[in-house]
Amino acid sequence: MAYLFTSESVSEGHPDKIADQISDALIDNFLAFDPNSKVACETLVTTGQVVLAGEVKSHTYLDVQKIARDVINRIGYTKSEYMFEGNSCGVLSAIHEQSADINQGVERKNPEEQGAGDQGMMFGYATNETENYMPLALDLSHMILRELAALRRENKDITYLRPDSKSQVTIEYSDDNVPQRIDAIVVSTQHDDFDSEEAMLAKIKHDIITILIPRVKAKLKPEIQKLFTDEIIYHINPTGKFVIGGPHGDTGLTGRKIIVDTYGGKGAHGGGAFSGKDPSKVDRSAAYATRHIAKNMVAAGVADEILVQVSYAIGVAKPMGIYINTYGTAKVKMTDGEIAKKVEEIFDMRPYAIEQRLKLRNPIYEETAAYGHMGRKNEIVTKTFESPYQEPKTVTVELFTWEKLDYVDKIKAAFSI
């Protein structure tokens, strides 16, 4: 019997995502001026206020207030009527030095023996139902909000949009897990005030369905486009008026959108957030590494769908173990346990090895903090960081290295594919 599966996304202007982006902007600035920085920083945003807290071990000093304000302005909170505006909000920093007890468990004389920054388990997932090996419902949810943000910035076809928004896509699958059609789409977007609520709701629904959705469809392959039918159920701003939004409407915190950040409820999640953590924290680095494994394994033809788990003890370099689940889709004559043994031979999952393989000690994290950490475009960019305490730093970095299909040939050779 066919079944429905739903995933959601939130925009860069959602309060929790504002917090994630500020935390990751701080990470990038610390790493730009001191690549060996150890950072765990959290952000809280509410009406007119930003609170920064966390632990740092670094040789650099930053103007954390300016960094936070720059992020808020870039997102689009630039008007006083939003009750949260980059140039006027208060920014309180309670960042302090990292615990020496934690640091001694991570740093080693031999860098290769660097211990894991915490205990825990991390998951990576990939499926061949989309070009980027991501679950389709989440991929579409992200795309809807990226296009909505583009329309907001263009301020031409739709002129009343404000930064806060959410989306949700429900897809009907066949018994053999193939997407059949889109059953429902939910879009809630913050907006300017209207004279009439009835006219407002009609206008927003019309614009989302006739302007936004066609722009999304135009960027998709024909086989995905045909999932959009006239039978889709649309819920557009279903609560009605959505003028009060952003941090004034709902307090935001770093790390509260971990399913949006990963696979939209497909696969599994170990529970650890990513944003605000330097790569010595395996919550982040090992989650990227397991995604890298899963994506390359599916691309190599080992299975149609793969979940990878790795686990660590704090201060210990070697993982506790690697687990593989192919959901019965394996194309090789091996058990999932045998596949896991092969994965251990191909991929060094010690924290230092992950950092080196995926180039994680670079300032590459602010880009991850909205619209998902996985399934993104691997590209090389040049970024400039400024500080009142030192000369500006311009660096060329590679983004989303964990999305590269650079291990496919090694995997094919190991599995005799």
| Annotated binding residue 221 | no
Task: State yes or no: pLDDT of 218 exceeds 80.
Answer: yes
The residue-averaged pLDDT of 128-154 equals 98
Q: Is the residue at 95 inside a domain?
A: no
Return the higher-pLDDT residue of 117 and 246: 246
The residue-averaged pLDDT of 213-221 equals 97
The Cα 223–Cα 20 span in angstroms is 34
Joined tokens for residue 106: 């991570």
- The band of 118, judged by pLDDT with boundaries at 50, 70 and 90, is confident
| Annotated binding residue 256 | yes
Buried b (16+ CB within 10 A) or exposed e, 326-347: beeebebebebeebbebbeeeb
Which residues are CB-contacts of 113 (< 8 A; sequence separation ≥ 6)?
A: 317, 350, 352
The Cα 58–Cα 353 span in angstroms is 21
What does the pLDDT read at residue 103? 52
- The band of 99, judged by pLDDT with boundaries at 50, 70 and 90, is low
| Annotated binding residue 164 | yes
pLDDT above 70 covers a percentage of the chain that reads 96
Q: Considering 190, 218, 244, which residue would you say is the last residue of a domain?
A: 244
Same domain, 140 and 124: no
Same domain, 221 and 284: no
Same domain, 191 and 294: no
Instruction: Flag the least confident range among 71-75, 228-232, 386-390.
Output: 386-390
CB–CB of 289/349 below 8 Å?
Answer: yes
The Cα 202–Cα 77 span in angstroms is 26
**Interval 348-382: pLDDT, tens:** 999 999 999 999 999 999 999 999 999 999 999 99
- The band of 117, judged by pLDDT with boundaries at 50, 70 and 90, is confident
* Total-model pTM: 0.96
| Annotated binding residue 273 | yes
Q: How many separate domains does the chain show?
A: 2
Tokens 């701003």, located at residue: 237
Return the higher-pLDDT residue of 302 and 417: 302
Q: Considering 190, 224, 244, which residue would you say is the last residue of a domain?
A: 244
| Annotated binding residue 42 | yes
User: Could you give the angle at the alpha carbon of 273 between the alpha carbons of 41 and 67, nearest 5°?
Assistant: 35
Same domain, 124 and 143: no
Same domain, 225 and 291: no
The residue-averaged pLDDT of 144-171 equals 98
Average pLDDT, the chain: 95
| Annotated binding residue 196 | no
Fill in the amino acid letter for 89.
C
Q: Is the residue at 256 inside a domain?
A: no
Order of strands, edge to edge, in the sheet holding 120-127?
A: 120-127, 305-312, 321-325
| Annotated binding residue 278 | no
The Cα 273–Cα 277 span in angstroms is 8
| Annotated binding residue 166 | yes
pLDDT above 90 covers a percentage of the chain that reads 93
Same domain, 166 and 225: yes
Same domain, 284 and 210: no
The residue-averaged pLDDT of 197-211 equals 96
What does the pLDDT read at residue 110? 66
Q: Report DSSP letters for 280-340, one per residue.
A: TSHHHHHHHHHHHHHHHHHHHTSBSEEEEEEEE-BT-SS-SEEEEE-TT-B-SSS-HHHHH
- The band of 126, judged by pLDDT with boundaries at 50, 70 and 90, is very high
| Annotated binding residue 281 | yes
What does the pLDDT read at residue 114? 82
| Annotated binding residue 17 | no
Joined tokens for residue 342: 């092969």
Q: Is the residue at 213 inside a domain?
A: yes
For CA atoms 258, 261, 265, 271, the dihedral sign is: negative
Q: Is the residue at 370 inside a domain?
A: yes
Task: State yes or no: pLDDT of 172 exceeds 70.
Answer: yes
Task: State yes or no: pLDDT of 266 exceeds 80.
Answer: yes
Same domain, 146 and 218: yes
Same domain, 124 and 165: no
Task: State yes or no: pLDDT of 220 exceeds 60.
Answer: yes
CB–CB of 370/12 below 8 Å?
Answer: yes
Q: Is the residue at 299 inside a domain?
A: yes
- Of 41, 40, 61, nearest in space to 52 by CA: 41
Domain of 163, CATH number, reads 3.30.300.10
| Annotated binding residue 266 | no
Tokens 């201060």, located at residue: 315
Which residues are CB-contacts of 208 (< 8 A; sequence separation ≥ 6)?
A: 187, 189, 234, 236
Task: State yes or no: pLDDT of 344 exceeds 90.
Answer: yes
| Annotated binding residue 257 | yes
| Annotated binding residue 341 | no
What does the pLDDT read at residue 315? 87
For residue 252, give Cα distances in angstroms to 15, 35, 74, 149.
4, 28, 17, 19
Same domain, 305 and 395: yes
Burial class (CB in 10 A: 0-12, 13-18, 19+), 211: middle
List the domain range (segments joined by +) for residue 293: 120-128+279-415
- Of 52, 54, 89, 59, nearest in space to 73 by CA: 89
What does the pLDDT read at residue 86? 97
Fill in the amino acid letter for 149.
A
- The band of 104, judged by pLDDT with boundaries at 50, 70 and 90, is low
The residue-averaged pLDDT of 185-206 equals 96
For residue 30, give Cα distances in angstroms to 184, 200, 362, 385.
42, 44, 10, 10
Same domain, 149 and 178: yes
The residue-averaged pLDDT of 222-251 equals 96
Task: State yes or no: pLDDT of 108 exceeds 60.
Answer: no
Q: Is the residue at 382 inside a domain?
A: yes
Q: Is the residue at 403 inside a domain?
A: yes
Same domain, 332 and 406: yes
Q: Is the residue at 408 inside a domain?
A: yes
| Annotated binding residue 119 | no
Cα Rg of the chain, angstroms: 22
